[in-house]
Amino acid sequence: MTELRRRLDTRDAVVVGLGAMLGAGVFASFGPAARAAGGWLPLSLALAAAVAYGNAMSSARLAARYPASGGTYVYGRERLGPFWGYLAGWMFVVGKTASCAAMALTFAAYAAPGFARPAAVAAVLALTALNLFGVQRSVQATRLIVAVVLVVLAAVVTTAFAGAPSPGLGGALHPLGVLQGAGLLFFAFAGYARIATLGEEVRDPARTIPRAVTISLAVTLIVYTLVAFALLAALGPERLAASVSPLAEATPGWLAPAVRVGAAVAALGALLALILGVSRTGLAMARDGFLPRALAVVDARSAVPRRAELAVGLVVAALVATVDLRGAIGFSSFGVLLYYAIANAAWLSLAAGPARRAGAVAGLAGCLLLAFTLPWRSIGVGLAVAAAGALWYFYVARRARRP
């Protein structure tokens, strides 16, 4: 069996998107972004949201037209040619595998500071096992996680504003810093891709996917905006930039344990959704021979790609022993921005009317601008990984042409 079953409705898809975005953004991205943008962090957030919205609309329309697992790997292949589809899938799988490691380490930093690496490995293996029981079980767990996170964030925002010493906004404007901050914060919005990569498991994808993407992105933007202003008001730009757990620092001591629990739960929700998305793109690439074909098997009983999910889980478990959290965010942002640049290019080949074409062009330009204004190490590693992926593609393609 190689086909997945359509079990998810709009509410389920929204939950998957929220689970992926809230955990990644709130607890992992604001510190590095504040280091780049300073008191202009809200401007970076607005730029990241604008690019994310354009990408979301392109991705949603493409997912409705091509409702199969794989996201932009499928769209790029169908609209731009096999190489561009492959490159999108490669950057997604590699970049989001790094994101999985980052989320596992975020969970461990809050839940077990003295045993971060072992706790991160345990979390990856436990959630991989949960995914093996089927996508509905994963959605049920994510629904509970999202509810807990929203309650905790509401308490953080309320208490941070109540005890805020100053607004903490403005200061010297550095355009490059604002763009770098937007690129790093894009990492926080990229969770809506999980909805598109589940296209083969969504009911009525032409209606469900665009609605779910719009709703989850709007809710996330509102939450991020409130949290960003609360953190700047309570900590100020410099302290926020230096903090590894800014939400805990911005709240009274009595609330800190709850914040740590919320952060750990949010990271688990993001990790759960990320494993789902990466394994589905891996499934699509395995079907086409760019990953081992053994990963293309879908379990007949649970209707999930068990081999692909196990492979993702084992690779992530190995990564958490070596990766750095902040470096993983930058590298992941670069990879995902290239992924969405290809998505916008694919939609541009289909878009009818000047407004939609202008939106696709703006999304493409925005992705490339944010990608190539990230810290130079993130750009260098990202380009090296893209080049390695391109070499692998041409090797596989040449081997396939041999008699």
- Please report the pLDDT score of residue 322 as a whole number: 77
- Please report the pLDDT score of residue 373 as a whole number: 92
**Alpha-carbon distance 177 to 374, whole Å?**
9
403, part of any domain:
no
293, part of any domain:
yes
According to DSSP, residue 348 is labeled H
> Contact at 8 Å (CB) between 261 and 294?
no
Q: Phi/psi at 165 (nearest 5 deg)?
A: -80, -30
**Alpha-carbon distance 226 to 153, whole Å?**
9
DSSP string for residues in 253-296: GGGHHHHHHHHHHHHHHHHHHHHHHHHHHHHHHHHTTSS-GGGG
381, part of any domain:
yes
DSSP string for residues in 114-181: GGHHHHHHHHHHHHHHHHTT-HHHHHHHHHHHHHHHHHHHHHHHHHHHHT-S----B-S--HHHHHHH
> Contact at 8 Å (CB) between 219 and 225?
no
**Alpha-carbon distance 89 to 86, whole Å?**
5
Tokens 């992105």 map to which residue? 217
59, part of any domain:
yes
Supply 37's token pair. 């943008």
Q: Whole domain around residue 289: which residue ranges?
A: 10-397
Single pTM value for the model? 0.80
44, part of any domain:
yes
**Alpha-carbon distance 365 to 387, whole Å?**
21
Amino acid letter, 152: V
- Grouping H, G, I as helix, E, B as strand and the rest as coil, residue 39 is strand
Of how many residues is the chain composed?
403
147, part of any domain:
yes
Taking the alpha carbons of 58, 60, 61, 67 in that order, is the dihedral positive or negative? Answer: positive
Q: At what angle do helices 72-79 and 325-348 cross, to 10 degrees?
A: 40
Residue 253 burial (C-beta neighbours within 10 Å; 0-12, 13-18, 19+): exposed
> How many domains does the structure of the chain reveal?
1
Tokens 């889980």 map to which residue? 313
pLDDT tens by residue, the chain, 403 residues: 445 566 677 888 888 788 778 765 677 788 889 999 988 999 999 999 889 888 888 887 887 788 776 678 888 999 999 999 999 989 988 888 888 888 888 888 778 877 878 898 898 888 888 777 665 555 677 788 788 888 889 998 998 887 655 555 666 778 999 999 999 898 888 777 667 666 666 777 777 888 888 888 889 999 999 999 989 888 888 888 888 778 888 888 888 888 888 888 888 877 877 787 788 778 878 888 888 888 888 776 666 777 888 888 888 888 887 777 667 778 888 998 999 999 999 999 887 678 778 888 888 999 999 999 998 988 999 999 999 999 999 998 888 776 5
Beta-bridge mates of residue 106:
none
- Single out the residue of 145, 130, 186 nearest to residue 270, CA to CA: 145
- Single out the residue of 371, 400, 389, 395 nearest to residue 85, CA to CA: 389
- Grouping H, G, I as helix, E, B as strand and the rest as coil, residue 316 is helix
Angle at CA of residue 323, ends 370 and 248, nearest 5°: 80
Amino acid letter, 341: A
- Please report the pLDDT score of residue 2 as a whole number: 45
CATH number for the domain including 285?
1.20.1740.10
Supply 127's token pair. 């959630």
- Single out the residue of 247, 233, 239 nearest to residue 153, CA to CA: 247
**Alpha-carbon distance 227 to 325, whole Å?**
21
Supply 326's token pair. 């902040």
**Alpha-carbon distance 170 to 164, whole Å?**
16
224, part of any domain:
yes
**Alpha-carbon distance 295 to 313, whole Å?**
13
**Alpha-carbon distance 189 to 181, whole Å?**
13
> Contact at 8 Å (CB) between 330 and 184?
yes
Beta-bridge mates of residue 8:
202
